[in-house]
Amino acid sequence: MPTPRLLISAAAAATAVAALVVSPATAQAADPLDYVALGDSAAAGPLIPNQNPNLPCLRSTNNWANVTARALGARLTDVSCSGATTGDMAGRQFGYNAPQYDALKPDTDLVTITIGANDLSLGTFVPGCWRTPPPFGISCKSVAYAAAGGKDPFIAKIATMRSSVATVLDTIETKSPDAEVIVVGYGKYYRKGGCYWTDPVWPEDADYIQSVFTRLNETLRDLAAERGLDYVDSEALFAGHDICAPASQRWMEGLVPTTIAAPYHANRAGHDGTAAALLGLVG
């Protein structure tokens, strides 16, 4: 398996995005890569035009897997799906979607995966942190700690999630033993202190939310390193492009998106930036 390499910097990614040409001229027509994209909404690109006909998955034809595949001239099987958990790798999401593992073949050349946030229920936790201006009310961090008996509730959740993701990565390597596997982390959501009037989350809660995503990303990075897999450090890649960035520089959307994308998800620019990072690793 490839040696772990740290992704390119945000500045280099921006340059690579600008230079990214998605055209037939880049295709490896003689022997195209068989590429399988797995994961949740961070990979799927919910609401970004254009959406795949499998509407419950909210999967964009311009997510980073598709942009990467077009640049490589690869044959892409994208089964990423919004709301997916590690359990949906082997189970039927929504009761009818085939297990994501089914896309993996012995001759698969490239696999990318982003998974874990929904195992932590972050998709419901973050919206639960919307607040009226402080000091009215109580922070969602305080509520979470109180519900967990004064302890950080995500410590145990991340430990369980780590075991589940480890099983997923081991299964991928078993099903597609010759594939280059790249684990893609979650982007940066908030800079220190957040930006209350841009996004209705108190400063201490913005810091707490970001700390949970940071721990999630560190877990994914470590799991990849243990297996000799490449890892895209999306948190570093999105630095300066978080929810609090000016609209023209934003790669991660907040409660009220500035482009066509789902709240608290990467927009098209974020997917293009991630694709540029992936193209720097594939090979």
- The residues assigned a catalytic role are 41, 265
**Spatial distance between the Cα atoms of 94 and 100, rounded to a whole number of angstroms:** 12
Of 152, 166, 210, nearest in space to 186 by CA: 210
At which residue do the structure tokens 């500035």 appear?
258
CB contact at 8 A, 33 and 72: yes
Cα-Cα-Cα-Cα dihedral sign, residues 220, 222, 227, 228: positive
Q: Residue 45, exposed/middle/buried by CB under 10 A (0-12, 13-18, 19+)? A: buried
CB contact at 8 A, 68 and 150: no
